[in-house]
Structure 1
Amino acid sequence: MRQQLTRFTDAERRVAQALLADYPVAGLETVARFAKRAGTSGPTILRFVSRLGFQTYADFQNALHEEIHVRLQGPLTRYPSQGHPEKRDLTENVTQALADNISKVGKTFHQDDLQEITALLCDEARTVFFLGGRFSHILATYFHHYMRELHPRVRLVRDTSAAWADYLLDVKPGDVLVTFDFRRYQADVLEFAKAATAQGATIILITDVWYSPIASLAHKVVACPVEIPSAFDSGVAGLATVEIIVSAVVEELGTDAKERMTTLEGLRKSFRLGQ
């Protein structure tokens, strides 16, 4: 839906923005209430739903209910109930699913979005914060490790939420918060993003295809497929997203990044670090 915004009429775009601002709650309301929220008419709501590919408003709401069910699934829900496949088949199935997920990222990560994200991350006037959840903190840490070699003002929000207020204290207007949040989306990560937004931070969200609630706060959203033949979701597409963005940052910074990395290598050698 985000990718189709430019194809909607002005009235339909208001409907889409109202839905994204309180997703999926707005779409679960009656047509009249949804129209009032979006500042438009009932027929516009129905045209919008039709543009999304649904024959009726009831079909649209049924799809939202199904999506909520999928978004809330945990490992136990997805735990394989069938017998064990041959190891060779399992390896092939999983590796193919991983490859497909990476391929989908390459096809859906629009160049305009990548350029905007890159520009934000290359701006040394901004401090860039990295935040993840219980599992996705690994991706946030990985991204931070790369970026601290390229950018002088980056901070990793450590994974103990009791100390997160210490990081919020330093968030200033114009700073960037790169947030990783995948199903089953964490309330504490959402609250941090809300607080950072209130303090003027720009949110870049990396999430799954069902979208974290943080999407309504985000300036840019990158959706990563996560499903593989396993009880657990995969982080490989999220990792690929990080690699793509880092490559774009290196290219954009050019010689500035090279000089910083050269200085860093010299410091490591002088202290016999990282060898």
Structure 2
Amino acid sequence: MEQIEQRLQNEYSELPPQERRLADFILGHPEDLPLYNSTELARHCGVSKATVSRLFKRLGFGSFREGRQRFRDLRQQGVPVVNEDAFGGGILEQHLEREIGNLKRLYGGLDNDLLTNAVEALIQAREVVVIGFRNSFPVALHLRQQLAQVRERVRMAPQPGQSLGEELAELHADDLVVLCGFRRRPHKFPAVLRSLHRQGVPVLLLADGSARGIASQASWWLECPLDSLSAFDCYSSAMSLTNLLANLVLHQNLSAGSERIAAINEQYELIDELSLDLSGSAR
């Protein structure tokens, strides 16, 4: 599906609104496309059958049926065959190639100026609030842990068992929200982004390509490809980006970051919180 997704991404900015709505669905749910015929897809997306036909012809297919078959063929190629020879041979190489491909697309698509501005915002913000729902939560949690090593006032929201509204209400233009929004986002996600936009709170959006329809409301959008061979998305590019961001924050504010790391390590020692015994033996 990667080539078809890339075609959609290349054409996206030129698409009319109805075709863009259809493209948003395909990019957000590529695994579902083979399940629909053109009538069902049009009804599901709230567009006409003619819109479906126009979009697939724009992508170089003679018809929707031809495009759907191409999706089906690619889907079949991506499903691992569970047998000893396949698992021990080609599957590992294919998986590695896909991971490397995601990383190349991530770093090939990063704009240096955009990245520099986002990192400067991470350094200068009074407070950094990191938000991630569902599959985005582990990425958000890891980013918060990394950033908290090198700057003060970094927190996750909402806290367990709490609602988000009261935490968003107290944010201002001198704060920064890092919003992790990978596909299969909850329905409230666009509303959260709109609310922050209305408040004038800067937002750094970390998301896959399915977020392009709402990304304009973020101050910065860093796209992380999640393509995988099978049903579950690969988050290596997202985790690599969190590592890059944290390291850039540290190195562009090295004195303050180093002081904080030293202070944290001192606390580790004072309360004997972490085991530094490399042999793994009990004390």
Check whether TM > 0.5.
Answer: yes
Matched, 1:98 2:99: yes
1:5 corresponds to which residue?
none
Q: RMSD of the TM alignment (CA)?
A: 2.8
Classify 1:269/1:160 alpha carbon distance in 2 versus 1 (closer, same or farther; 3 Å).
closer
Whole-angstrom distance in 1 between the partners of 2:120 and 2:272:
34
2:147 corresponds to which residue?
147
Q: What is the CA-CA distance between 1:213 and the residue it aligns to? A: 4.1
2:25 corresponds to which residue?
68
Greater alpha carbon shift after TM alignment, 95-104 vs 208-217: 208-217
| TM-score, normalization by structure 2 | 0.69
1:117 corresponds to which residue?
118
Instruction: List aligned pairs for 1:21-170, cutoff 5 A.
Output: 27-28=16-17, 61=19, 65-73=22-30, 83-84=81-82, 86-87=86-87, 88-123=89-124, 125-158=125-158, 163-170=163-170
Greater alpha carbon shift after TM alignment, 182-191 vs 68-77: 68-77
| Unaligned stretches of 5+ residues in structure 1 | 1-15, 30-60
Conserved? CA contact 1:101–1:237, under 8 Å: yes
Classify 1:214/1:174 alpha carbon distance in 2 versus 1 (closer, same or farther; 3 Å).
farther
2:204 corresponds to which residue?
204
Conserved? CA contact 1:207–1:224, under 8 Å: yes
| TM-score, normalization by structure 1 | 0.71
Whole-angstrom distance in 2 between the partners of 1:152 and 1:71:
35
Q: What is the CA-CA distance between 1:82 and the residue it aligns to? A: 7.5
Conserved? CA contact 2:171–2:201, under 8 Å: yes
Which AA in structure 1 matches 2:229? P
Which AA in structure 1 matches 2:189? V
| Unaligned stretches of 5+ residues in structure 2 | 1-10, 36-74, 276-283
Which AA in structure 2 matches 1:70? L
2:62 corresponds to which residue?
none
Conserved? CA contact 2:179–2:204, under 8 Å: yes
Whole-angstrom distance in 2 between the partners of 1:273 and 1:110:
40
